[in-house]
Structure 1
């Protein structure tokens, strides 16, 4: 009887079923996280990862959070939430990474966001990672559409996404010979015209996966998260940031 009560209590205390928790890290890192939490120094950053079907969004997230990869992946049909923590330049940050299934359009209103469970939390995300497959031009067109919709909804119709931290990620870099366009061509468009960050990566070979999260946090730091989120100010932010995992929130 006591065992059943303990089991029930444990289930009630757990996060929602969709939340994915990373493995525990070394105790020294955990102590650092607890110390900073007690002082109220932990910042929270919500990151929505969006892209067309089959571009490798989940593979990138799982490589970053769990450091694993599977060639046998299934399509993401429901929104999933991952909650790793990282240290950047000596400051600890709780990340809430939303793995968003393919959506027809960025939700244009809170009502639309609420009606579609896949979109919940997307409108108010602190930052966005837009993923496309470097071998699939259609997936890039999807990113192009979603980026413009984010700009229209989050920047009040501005032609620039300068107020919204957005990182465009070209996935499957290991298939370089099959790409539909030169890297420089895409990079110039994204950086110069869209005013977004740009990184290419390979989740399969763990190439530049950590870098893309460094890049995104760097953009968020530079722009101060001005959209109703706690500002991030780091010492030495102009220098290359140091990013490493610590324990997830208990």
Structure 2
């Protein structure tokens, strides 16, 4: 099955096997949309606007093959449980976001992780332990400092302990700390082409790659004395790198695809 998309004056098709959906979940005001904005545009939006449900699309031309990444930025209020369940059912990779200075948002992530594993294991007729879902637990706002912290690193780390398909990162969308590394590891665990993810700074990329053997184990030492343990990543702020040019668009899930007039560029 092929998906046909139009952008500007060009039309291109994406095989279904090359189409992926990333779902971003978490409580309100934890920075989900800011993390998505960093990934899409390299920018941080300082003004808070409540999200109902935002849909973004990136299309890549990688060595002559077309790939599509749909990004679903969900509402933190989840007024419609059926809608959230549908988001989980259709997701391929997941980012669960909480704020390091908000204990309740961490508790919500624990509930979300449990729900995702239950829904997906039923769908695939597998146990929760064998669901094999690429997932990142993301503690945002690490720029607020230790005095504001309400979730200890060691406690958050337990959510990914022993799961080779789940990693934990502490990031700052505002300062752009560890964001590129987080997406790089998530896409590596999902076995997506590396051209689809942001490129961390060279020194950080070498450290992250050491932590990604075939099963995406994340236990290698990080330069500077830190460690990546059970998926926990504590890295210095990445240097800004030029992102590959890709096609970006917005629209409703299942809608017509990227907005007219935007161009797609080969990676």
1 or 2, which has the higher helix percentage? Answer: 1
1 or 2, which has the higher strand percentage? Answer: 2
**Fold-level similarity (TM above 0.5):** yes
1:97 corresponding residue in structure 2: 71
1:81 equivalent in alignment to 2:55: yes
- Deviations along 1:175-212, one digit per CA (max 9) or x if unpaired, are 1322123324422x022156521112111111222222
- C-alpha deviation, 1:84, in angstroms: 2.3
- C-alpha deviation, 1:120, in angstroms: 4.8
Decide which of 148, 168, 171 is 1:201's aligned counterpart.
171
- C-alpha deviation, 1:158, in angstroms: 2.6
Check whether the contact 1:85–1:94 (CA below 8 A) recurs between aligned residues.
yes
**Alignment partners' CA distance in 1, 2:17 and 2:128:** 33
2:183 corresponding residue in structure 1: 213
SS at match of 2:129: coil
Instruction: Identify if the C-alpha distance between structure 1 residues 105 and 89 changes in structure 2 by more than 3 Å, giving closer, same or farther.
Output: farther
- C-alpha deviation, 1:167, in angstroms: 1.1
Instruction: Identify if the C-alpha distance between structure 1 residues 90 and 199 changes in structure 2 by more than 3 Å, giving closer, same or farther.
Output: farther
1:48 corresponding residue in structure 2: 23
**Alignment partners' CA distance in 2, 1:48 and 1:182:** 25
1:163 corresponding residue in structure 2: 132
TM normalised by structure 2 equals 0.61
Matches within 5 A, 1:168-207: 168-177=137-146, 178-187=148-157, 189-192=158-161, 196-207=166-177
- Deviations along 1:13-44, one digit per CA (max 9) or x if unpaired, are x99xxxxx9xx9xxxxxx9xx9xx67969822
Check whether the contact 2:23–2:95 (CA below 8 A) recurs between aligned residues.
yes
**Alignment partners' CA distance in 1, 2:47 and 2:28:** 15
Matches within 5 A, 1:1-40: none
Say which structure, 1 or 2, has more relative contact order (CA 8 Å, 6+ apart): 1
1:141 corresponding residue in structure 2: 107
